[in-house]
Amino acid sequence: MNQKYRWPNEAKAAATISVLLEVWGDGKWPSYFPRTTALKPGMHDLSASRWSSFGIKEGAYRLLAALERNKLRATFFMNAIVAEREPKLLKKVLDAGHVIAAHGYSQDQFLMSMTRDEQHEIIKRCVSLFKSVTGKHPEGWVTSVYSWTSDTHQLLAQEGFKWHADALDSSFPARETYANGNIIALPWCDFVDNRVLRASPVDYSEAYESVIKYTCENEPLGLINVGMHCHFGGRPLMGGSIEKVLGCLAKTQGIWNATHGEIVTWFENQNVDALDKASLFGVL
C-alpha cells in the first residue's frame, strides 16, 4: 500500500497544529458561549463579549507556553484586527518559531455576506495589517466561520497567498487553479476544542489520542490536524486536555510536526494537482 508517496524521513504521519486567535469587533460577540439560558433579542451581551476577549488577553500566552514545553511548532491563524489591538503578540508568536496565517479581519465578519469587491478589500486590508507589523505577507489563510464563497480562493490566489486551509472535501492537499493564479487547498480539522464547550474537556484529548494512534498505525500517508482556540483552549479548564494532546504528538515516534507551509512545499515537490487516491490506498 502507498509505494508512491512518502513523508520526509519516512515519517509515519505528519501533524499540523492550528491555533486560532479570534477577536470580535467592538460591540460584537460570538453566538456560542457557556451560558445555557437564551437572552431576549436585542440584549447587549457583555458577558459573551468579555468571554471572547480571553484569547488575546491571556489564552494565546498559555498556548505558546504549552507548545514550548512540548517543543512543537504551530500555525497561528489570526484575525487581522489582532495586528491593530496587540501587535506585540504577533512578534512573540514569530519569535517563538511559529507561523502566522490570516483568518479574516474580525470573527464577526462573514465573507458570504459580501460582494466580490468587498471580499477583495477585506483580503487586501488583512495583508496590509499583517505586513505593517511583521514585514511579511501571510503565506496562508483560513476563512472565518467557514464563510468562503466561489470568489474567495480566486481572490486569495490573486493577492499572493500560497495556500488556504478551507478544504473540507479531502484529507490531503490539492492544487486549485484559477485564471489569476494557483493556490494549494489544505484540509481543516473537524474536531476543535470548542466542540466540547458544553461537554467534557476530556473528550478533546481522548479524541485526538485516538486519532493519533489510528493514523500512525493505519493511514498510508497520515495527516493529523489538531485545532484549538486561544479564547477557549487557552483556559486552565482545557489545559490538561491540551497538554495531553501536545504531549502525545511530541512523544509518538515517527510523527513529523510540520507547519502548513511545509506540507505545501512537500506537496509541490510531488508535481501533481492532487494525490492519486487509488495508489495511495492500494485500491487497483
**Residue 97 near residue 40, CB atoms below 8 Å:** no
Of residues 32 and 142, which shows the higher confidence score? 142
Write the pLDDT tens digit of every residue in 242-267: 999 999 999 999 999 999 999 999 99
pLDDT on residue 2: 60
For the chain, the residue count is: 284
pLDDT band at 1 (very low <50, low <70, confident <90, very high): low
Domain segments of the chain: what residues?
8-27+44-281
Dist. CA 262–CA 265, nearest whole Å: 5
- Give the pLDDT of residue 157: 98
What DSSP state is assigned to residue 102?
E
| Residue 76 to residue 259: CA distance in whole angstroms | 10
Q: What is the pTM of this model?
A: 0.95
Beta bridge partners of 105: none
Task: Write the burial class of residue 253 (CB in 10 Å: 0-12 exposed, 13-18 middle, 19+ buried).
Answer: exposed
Q: At what angle do helices 60-69 and 87-95 cross, to 10 degrees?
A: 10
Task: Give the tens place of pLDDT for each residue, 33-92.
Answer: 888 788 888 888 888 889 899 999 999 999 999 999 999 999 999 999 999 999 999 999
Q: Which among 78, 106, 58 has a CA at the least distance from the CA of 237?
A: 58
Predicted local distance difference test score (pLDDT) of residue 48:
86
The pLDDT, as a whole number, for residue 68 is: 98
Residue 177 backbone phi and psi in degrees, to 5: -115, 125
Cβ neighbours of residue 54 closer than 8 Å, sequence gap 6 or more: 230, 231, 232, 234, 235
The pLDDT assigned to 31 comes to 82
pLDDT tens column, 180-218? 999 999 999 889 998 898 889 999 999 999 999 999 999
pLDDT of residue 194: 87
Residue 62 CA to residue 243 CA, distance in Å, equals 11
Please give the CATH topology (third level) of the domain spanning 8-27+44-281. TIM Barrel (3.20.20)
- Specify whether the CB–CB gap between 193 and 233 falls below 8 A: yes
| Helix, strand, coil tally for the chain in percent (to 5) | 45, 15, 40
pLDDT at 15: 98
Q: How far is residue 242's CA from residue 228's CA, in Å, rounded to a whole number?
A: 8
The pLDDT value recorded for residue 197 is 85
- State the DSSP string of 206-263: HHHHHHHHHHHHH-TTEEEEEEEETTTTTSHHHHHHHHHHHHHHHHSTTEEE--HHHH
What burial letters (b/e) apply to 104-137, b meaning 16+ CB within 10 Å? Answer: bbbbbbebeebeeeebbebbeebbebbeebbeee
List, for residues 149-169, the tens digit of each pLDDT value. 999 999 999 999 999 999 999
As beta bridge partners, residue 283 has: none
